[in-house]
Amino acid sequence: MLQSIKLNIGKILTSRVVYRTIVKPTIKNGCVRTSKGYVNVDDQSIYIQSLLFWRIYENSERRLIERYLRKDCPVIELGASIGMTTLTICKVVEGNIPVISVEANPTLIPSLLKTKNINKLDNLEIVNAAIDYGPDKEVSFIIDDNNLGSQKGVTDKSVSIPGIRLSDILRRGNIGRYALVSDIEGAELEMVLCENDPAVFGNCTQIIMEIHDTTYNGKQYTKKDIVASIIERFSMQIIFNDNDTWVFEKK
């Protein structure tokens, strides 16, 4: 019953009528104002803009970042999307501590750069690449119309983008100790299974990760399987989970 009420409220808040009368008049210079700053929404759908305005977009992930993310070490973010969690991370960390945000969808990069500039996030580096552990330097990536379903794969909408490993990101940023924030729609499994740089596992102090049931190399992996692999490879323990997003810290 309660879930049904929430869904109906969500439909009303993201409707075209509510958008035109309440949401759209507040959007200035292509940006939605949030509690953490401004998020550029150039080319984003009415639905996404409304979710941002009503503080619904990635609400769970943002709250966990605000509550748990360490303030005192560099952060690697995998899956920046439109930049809401990126903005939250940059507002949580102290001073000029580096934040490196990786986003595979090339159509989102100009908007992410605008969000970076308007909020004066000088400690933020944005990288257009996809986490990938295959032999090729380029990855085929499917561009979804509303960006939420974009993922690695081959269709008539695929584009080629650079592939990158977590160890590559740490080396290029000269990062030692770090925290990891990740929402990459199932690609987290490949990273956990295939990364072989000991520094990646030894220097990671904390992980905040949305985890998905997924298939890799023809084998089905549940969230429980992936969580167990993270605990083992990173020597982590679970601090919190809501069955979608997990918070891990070093034992």
> Residue 137 in 3-state DSSP?
coil
Q: Work out whether the CA dihedral 204, 206, 209, 211 comes out positive or negative.
A: positive
pTM over 0.85: yes
Instruction: Decide if 133 contacts 190 (C-beta within 8 A).
Output: yes
Res 167 pLDDT > 70: yes
Pairing state of beta strands 31-34 and 37-40? antiparallel
Q: Using CA atoms, how far apart are residues 210 and 85, in angstroms rounded to an integer? A: 12
Mean pLDDT confidence for 149-171: 82
Map out the domains of the chain as residue ranges.
1-56, 58-250
Q: What is the pLDDT of residue 158?
A: 79
Computed over every residue of the chain, the mean pLDDT equals 91
Predicted pLDDT at 153: 64
Decide: 246 and 209 in contact? Cβ < 8 Å: yes
Instruction: Decide: 65 and 39 in contact? Cβ < 8 Å.
Output: no
pLDDT of 101 reads 98
Question: What is the rounded CA–CA span in Å between residue 16 and residue 12?
Answer: 9
pLDDT at position 143: 77
Strand partners, 75: 99, 179
Q: Which residue has the higher pLDDT, 80 or 159?
A: 80
With a CB cutoff of 8 Å and minimum separation 6, the contacts of 143 are: 105, 106, 107, 150, 157, 158, 159
Q: What is the pLDDT of residues 109-121, one digit of tens each?
A: 999 999 999 999 9
Residue 169 near residue 175 (C-beta atoms within 8 A): yes
For the segment 166-170, the average pLDDT, to the nearest whole number, is 96
Both structure tokens of 33: 């104002």
Topology at the third CATH level for domain 58-250 = Rossmann fold (3.40.50)
According to the model, what pLDDT value does residue 115 have?
97
Cα distance between residue 110 and residue 36, in whole Å:
20
The tens digit of pLDDT for each residue in 24-40 reads 999 999 999 999 999 99
How far is CA 91 from each of CA 87, 165, 249, rounded to the nearest angstrom? 6, 26, 21
